[in-house]
Homo-oligomer: A and B are copies of this chain.
Amino acid sequence: MREVAIIGVGLTPFGELWEKSMRDLLVEAGLAAIQDAGVDHIDSMYVGCMSSGLFVGQEHLGAVMADYLGRCPVPATRVESACASGGAAVRAGFFEVASGNADIVLVGGVEKMTDVGGDEATYALATAADQEWEAFNGATFPGLYAMMAVAHMHRYGTTREQLAAVAVKNHANGSLNPRAQFRGRITVEDVLGSVMVADPLHILDCSPITDGAAALVLCPAEMARRPGRKPPVRIIGSGQASDSIALHSRPDLTELKAVTTAAGKAYKMAGKKPSDIQLCEVHDCFTIAEIMVTEALGFVEKGKGGPAVQSGETALGGRIPVNTSGGLKSKGHPVGATGVAQIVEIVEQLRGEAGQRQVRGARVGMTENMGGTGASAVVHIMEAVS
């Protein structure tokens, strides 16, 4: 396999962007990444998107992307793995560069979620669960993650306050991110006092409905350095795994086995272990998810995710900063864009461009992107090229 590097990144602001269409967002992020990389041609494109068919009535997003970026006849393909669509799109681009078929590959991720009403958005998101056994019977994601939270609280003594601490930390990080959807700091009391969505999860435990896009440019590591270009970042590990689509099929609701398996593959490819990772963007679609993911990635022992966030281990300046961008919770969660945006944050950190949320001396970072209740997981490890 050829080694692969990231040479450019682009990100739109995240939020309720009613004045911008899905294709506007995709073009804005794509052009930013192309400009950042300083490339004059593209060999191939991928775009991660979960459900543009249900959200805006447009499938065939690869062709839309190539067309609106003025790049026809460059091949362009959409990749979908629910909320892990962005990470899976990066992985598809990674393989095409690694195979030697393409040198310069643009990978985008997008979701335009606010053009439909709340009921329609909830329906669209529930298509990431098991339609026949979960969604059809009325289960939606807050309810499914609430069951995981109850199981984790029961088995490990995880507390309501520990769940709230995830939201408090990520809003604090997001307050330092100019592109975040919510930049206001919140307190544990704010979370506990906010409206209940699915017991024990309050609305401030949930990531929002968001419009946004992200993009990055990949190329072979040996071609990545060029005068005038920012230092490249190598993708040194990529792992993906699946788990049962339905939550009730799993022997243990407190485990994210696909995350552990995907991370194991990424660690092995990278030749790294959890203690080598200096910062990580994880898929905090709900506060309980971040707690379970930090355990599944091996940053803390099983059952210790709650105490770790409460004691500041995963805060900026802590032992292993998690979600410096603000995470899905505060930065926002345009589902198809999220996996790409996580990598954009790591690249900016490894370049030393993260401003007030910079992790000092960061050389190795990780992303964990997840679909459904963890039925798909994609993990990437990135390293600054010295």
Residues of chain A having any CB pair with chain B under 8 Å: 1-2, 21, 23, 44, 50-54, 56-64, 66-67, 71-82, 88, 91-92, 95-96, 98-101, 123-124, 126-132, 135-136, 238, 240-246, 249, 257-258, 261-262, 371-372, 375-376
Contacts and interface: CB of A to CB of B under 8 A. Distances in A.
Contacts of A261: 73
Given A95-B95, A99-B98, A241 B75 contact: yes
A54 B56 contact: no
Contacts of A99: 1-2, 95-96, 98-100
A246 B54 CA distance: 20
B59 A127 contact: yes
A75 B376 CA distance: 8
A61 B73 contact: no
A140 to B, nearest CB: 13
Most-contacted residue by chain B among A95, A96, A240, A244 (CB, 10 A)? A95
B127 A241 contact: no
A67 B375 contact: yes
A95 B238 CA distance: 15
Contacts of A241: 72-75
Nearest to A257: B73
Contact of A21 (B82, B100, B132, B372): B132
B78 A79 contact: yes
Nearest to A89: B77
A78 B80 contact: yes
Most-contacted residue by chain B among A60, A71, A78, A124 (CB, 10 A)? A60
14 contacts: A50-B59, A54-B54, A57-B126, A60-B81, A63-B243, A63-B245, A67-B246, A67-B375, A72-B242, A72-B244, A73-B258, A77-B81, A78-B79, A99-B99
A242 B81 contact: no
A242 B67 contact: yes
Given A79-B78, A375-B63, A131 B56 contact: yes
A77 B79 contact: yes
Given A81-B60, A101-B95, A72 B243 contact: yes
B78 A81 contact: yes
Nearest to A87: B77
Given A60-B372, A67-B375, A99-B98, A240 B128 contact: no
A242 B88 contact: no
Given A67-B249, A95-B95, A100-B1, A128 B59 contact: yes
Given A72-B242, A99-B95, A82 B64 contact: no
Contacts of A238: 101
A105 B265 CA distance: 17
A348 to B, nearest CB: 26
B95 A80 contact: no
Most-contacted residue by chain B among A59, A71, A244 (CB, 10 A)? A59
Contacts of A124: 53
A375 to B, nearest CB: 4
